[in-house]
Amino acid sequence: MNSHSYITFPIFKSYPELFCVFSTRIGGFSQGEYFTMNMGLNSGDNLVNVKKNRRHLFELLNIDENKLAIPKQVHSVSVKKVTKPGIYSDTDALCTNSVEIFLSIQTADCLPMFIYEPDKKVVAVIHSGWQGSLNGIVPETLEKLVNEYAIQTINLKVAIGPGIQSSCYEVREDVFSRFPDEFLNQHEDKEKKYLDLQSFIKNQLINQGVVGKNIYIDSSCTHCDTQKYYSYRRDKDKSGRMMGIIGLH
């Protein structure tokens, strides 16, 4: 058993009914560039190894793979309400208030977001890259939670998991020209601009009524931490994927 194979978030610590983890690349079976715990079935890796990795992680976490809800992520603003496990096409966010359904996402640089409303016992997961974030996947998800479950955003607890950080997230002009200046940084090279997607999303959350102290942002950079995380930008088409999972027992 290798507890380094996943991380948890301190903001969810006081809720025993809540299950929330994010996998690392440590402790699996994949070889070469994909070392070692690649969870991505469509990442170009040997499928036998990926399936072994998945089985290994679910055993470690003591959850049944058949209870997962899995979105086919497309950088959209589509949010789906989930009442049974299975595959959800063309969507980048899922929510549920059903127990024993585990909402999942896969990332490698894009931000994995996990949301819990402890009063109504509602969970949500979001896959948020620059495109989905800019187009409003985060406010769309919060509106869905308000409309479907009558939650109050002031009660939400949010964890933004490991992703690419602003220090590494250089973006092209056609991307940065679409973001407000306050979320763009410059380093030594004044020609280059770096997107602070975490701050952009935090600002969206606060605009929707989420309280600042209820937002946890993991400071790990997937692009820098070669040993612990996959990075699509760094590893390109040889990049594995981490998996984030949230659900209610």
Residues lying near Zn ion in the complex (CB under 5 A) are found at 168, 221, 223-224
Q: At what angle do helices 137-149 and 197-207 cross, to 10 degrees?
A: 30
What's the closest the beta carbon of residue 170 comes to Zn ion, in angstroms? 11
Which of 163, 119, 160 is CA-nearest to residue 141? 160
Q: If you ran DSSP here, which 8-state letter would residue 130 be given?
A: H
Which of 71, 86, 222, 95 is CA-nearest to residue 150? 95
User: Between 95 and 201, whose beta carbon lies closer to Zn ion?
Assistant: 201
What's the closest the beta carbon of residue 20 comes to Zn ion, in angstroms? 24
3-state helix, strand, coil in the chain (%, to 5): 30, 25, 45
Amino acid occupying residue 193 = K
What's the closest the beta carbon of residue 15 comes to Zn ion, in angstroms? 30
CA triple 138-71-97, angle to 5 deg: 70
- The CA–CA distances, whole Å, from 222 to 27, 146, 175, 230, 231 equal 17, 32, 20, 6, 5
What's the closest the beta carbon of residue 219 comes to Zn ion, in angstroms? 10
User: Between 144 and 193, whose beta carbon lies closer to Zn ion?
Assistant: 193
User: Between 60 and 224, whose beta carbon lies closer to Zn ion?
Assistant: 224
User: Between 163 and 240, whose beta carbon lies closer to Zn ion?
Assistant: 163
User: Between 58 and 194, whose beta carbon lies closer to Zn ion?
Assistant: 194
What's the closest the beta carbon of residue 132 comes to Zn ion, in angstroms? 21
